[in-house]
Amino acid sequence: MKLILASNSPRRKEILSQHGFNFDIVVSNFNETESGISAKELAKNNAVGKAKEVYFRLQSQGEKDFCVLSADTIVYFNGKILGKPKNKEQAIEMLSLLSNNTHTVITGYSIISENSIKNGIEETEVVFNNLSKKEILEYVETGKPMDKAGAYGIQDGYNLVKELKGSFYNVVGLPIETVSPILANILK
């Protein structure tokens, strides 16, 4: 059975590759929603929507014997969802908010095959270091925060995170510890 990753995320590609999975990429055309529901529901609904869109598109094109994996990662702090920053000012603002505070990273995942649908969420609590304005500006100037929810990547090599309660990979964008056994069972 062929594994399809319904994402163009370089981080999700890297995590799957590092854990020995062979896969093809088919980017989803699903329009993510952002309002009216909890952060957990949002992450899960977006993951399910992406997976379904790719699964049914490939099925309609005659594909057989495949499985689709998708995920959606959200940074949640103080009742707000912090998406990807639109500009440097927004990145600075987000990092300043997270500095010396605790937030939650929620990743919804969906795995769909002909005989199975597995959906879920993974949560990780992240405690940020107390970042100086200089540290925030230096990090933002690298451009690395610009394509990441919450304007940061735990894997970027900067001393942003003081403590982690939960999955490191979940914060990167795919809770591989949860997803891997499900995929192994489906792909066998």
What does the DSSP assignment read for 122-167?
EEEEEEE----HHHHHHHHHTTGGGGSGGG--TTSSSS-EEEEES-
> In the structure encoding, which two tokens stand for residue 145, read together?
């925060």
Taking residues 16-27, report their average pLDDT: 96
Tokens 């790719």 sit at which residue?
A: 54
Say which of 24, 65, 72, 156 is annotated catalytic: 72
CATH of 2-187, one of 3.50.50.60, 3.90.950.10, 3.30.2350.10, 2.30.30.220: 3.90.950.10
pLDDT tens for each residue of 35-52: 678 999 999 999 999 999
User: Does residue 24 surpass a pLDDT of 90?
Assistant: yes
The pTM of the full predicted model, rounded to 2 decimals, is 0.93
> Chain-wide mean pLDDT for the chain?
95
Distance CA 4, CA 52 (A): 12
Residue 65 falls in the annotated catalytic set: no
